Every structure is written in C-alpha cells, then in structure tokens.
Homo-oligomer: A and B are copies of this chain.
C-alpha cells in the first residue's frame, strides 16, 4: 500500500475570463472546482495505473468537507485529519483571448499541536501497513519547518522508503531526514544550492552531494529535457520524445507517481525512471491536472531512452 501525504490541500477553482482587466467587473461562468494538492495528483495517477493509494494530511471546514466528498467521488481512499481551521482556496483566471493565466493562492490554514499529534498517530498507524510513503507539497501554518524531516524519521523507524517532493526551506530541512528519494526540478535544486542558474554537470554534482548526506536518490526533472536520476553509485539519464504539450501542470507529481509505481513493482532502476518520465509526459498531454491515459504511458515507455552517465 502506498500512502500519499498532502499537508496543505486546496480547492482549486479555475475561471475562464475573457479580456480580464484590472479595475473592471466581469460576468463569468461558474468556476471549475477541483480538489487540489500535489499528493492528491500523485494519488490520482497511481490510481489510473491500477494502484490503490491512501491519501492523508489535513483538511478543515466547508472546503475540507468538499475535498473529502470529491475524493470519495473519485474513488480515492482517504484518512485525513479534520482540523478546525478552513482548508484554503486557490484561484486561477484563464484569459483565452491572450493565453494569460493569473493566479491567487490563499495562505493555508493553521494546524494546532493537538491536530499534529492526531496526524502523527494516524500516519504511524498507516505506516504499519504501508510499503511506500510519498510526501508532496508545501507545509502548512503552525507546523515546524522541519516536519518533513520528522516524517522521514518515522518512515525510517517503520523501515518504509519515503519519496519527498517539496521545495525551499521544507526541502532543505526535509533532506536532513534522509528520505529515500527527492524530486527537485531544476529551479528547485538551483534554489537549494542558492544559485541563480546551474549547468547540468553542476546540478548532478549538487545531487551527488545530497546523496552523500544520506538521501538515496535524487530524481531531477528537467521538463522537455527529460530527467536525471542520481544515486550514490550511478547516474541515469532519461531522454524523452517530443510530444504536443497540452497542460504541463502536475507533470512533476505524475513523475513521482510513476517512480513510486515502479519501485512498488520492484522494477529495475532504469525502468522506474522510464515509468516516472512516461507518467510525467502523459500528464502533460492531458488538459486535466494529475491525469494520465495508461495506454499513452505504455506507448511512451518504449520511446524513452535511459543512458548510464559517466560518474562524476
């Protein structure tokens, strides 16, 4: 059983606004509401691959209730901790006239110490049955910035590999917990290294350095340039086919899902990387975030080349 953790889910609402202008009023159709959050996307893709992940994290208020109903409707198993504060909303305004996308992201809710304790108990309970843990996305107000380190340590104690996909300080502290795998993209790894821009060789060196700190693998996603999987003893590079990109949002989450799927199936590391890339690309070919067509994944798997890079 795979457990996905989403500490700070959101209701995502997307509006189509023609000729969106600051300082004006606009009559619009109802916004399209989805249950948002990186871990939820990971779960959706895993489900499409035939897995039955369990989602956990914090949900609160009327928004939290809506997300729970939505996940149930999607057939996703969930064990969220119900918090007093309200789960956030994120808004996106798409102007189809000129392709502009304007976004508003609400600050997340506050999670109390008691609610954190309840989460810890629930997660440890889930870990007693889980074979893999995936923790994705931002932290939430009230919990310590080192929370992903703590979660990683609980996973270590339960002897379960944990995949961490976050950024900024949450990633920095999370690495200290020595997760099994982290999945930064180029911008996130540059930010971690406190550099504006790094070459591929510099990125690999940074990843090696992270592995030296106890992280087993760094899965570096490079968008249309594929991905690199860096471990202590090897460096694998995935070259991917060019596809028509419809909506790349959620492709990183889909990569994590593909990687987890491969690991769960005990595939070779090369094949795990192939699955990660195939899921990432398949997601980019769909309008909906966190969606893949399994047949597209199968076709893509054959078009992805994995090369062993020279060790640095």
Q: Which residues of B contact A86 (CB under 8 A)?
A: 30
Residues of B within 8 A of A105 (CB): 25-28
Contacts of A17 in B (CB 8 A): 104
A310 to B91, CA, bound (A): 55
B-binding segment of A94-102, A157-165, A168-176, A191-199: A94-102
**B28 A106 Cβ-Cβ under 8 A:** yes
Complex interface residues of chain A between 85 and 130 (CB less than 8 A to chain B): 86, 88-89, 91, 93, 95, 100-107
Please state if A102 and B22 are interface contacts (CB–CB under 8 Å). Answer: yes
- Cβ–Cβ contact A107 & B28, under 8 A: yes
A4 to B183 CA separation, bound complex (whole angstroms): 56
Whether A29 is near chain B, meaning CB under 8 Å from some CB there, is: yes
Whether B103 lies near A26 (C-beta < 8 A) is: yes
Which B-chain residue is minimally distant from A95 (CB atoms)? B22
- Contact present for B26 and A104 (CB under 8 Å): yes
* Complex: chain B residue closest to A102, CB-CB: B22
Chain B: CB-nearest residue to A28 = B104
From B21, B27, B89, B107, A102 is in contact (CB under 8 Å) with B21
* Bound-state Cα–Cα, A65 to B28, Å: 22
* A31 x B89 contact (CB < 8 A): yes
Q: Is the Cβ of B102 less than 8 Å from the Cβ of A23? A: yes
| Complex Cα gap A21–B29 (Å) | 22
Cross-chain contact of A22 among B15, B22, B66 (Cβ < 8 A): B22
Interface code A9-24, partner B: CB below 8 Å = 1, 0 otherwise?
A: 0000001010011111
Query: Which of A17, A28, A95 counts the most chain B CB atoms within 10 A?
Result: A28
Q: Are A30 and B107 in contact (CB under 8 A)?
A: yes
Which of A15, A22, A93 is the most central at the interface, judged by chain B CB atoms within 10 Å of its CB? A22
Indicate whether A62 reaches chain B with its CB closer than 8 angstroms.
yes
Residues from chain B with a CB closer than 8 A to the CB of A26 are: 102-105
A28-43: contact bitstring with B at CB < 8 Å (1 yes, 0 no)? 1111000000000000
Q: Are A91 and B91 in contact, with the CB atoms below 8 A?
A: yes
Which residues of chain B come closer than 8 Å to A30, judged between CB atoms? Answer: 86, 88, 106-107
Residue of B nearest to A93 (CB): B104
Are B22's CB and A104's CB within 8 A? no
A147 to B: closest C-beta gap in Å: 20
Closest to A27 in B: B105
What residues of B have a CB within 8 angstroms of the CB of A62 in the complex? Answer: 62, 65-66
Find A15's partner among B65, B101, B104 (CB 8 Å cutoff). B104
Report how far A102 CA is from B22 CA in the complex, Å.
5
Pair A23/B106 contact, Cβ less than 8 Å: no
With A21-B102, A28-B106 given, name 6 new contacts (CB 8 A): A25-B104, A26-B104, A27-B107, A28-B104, A31-B89, A31-B106
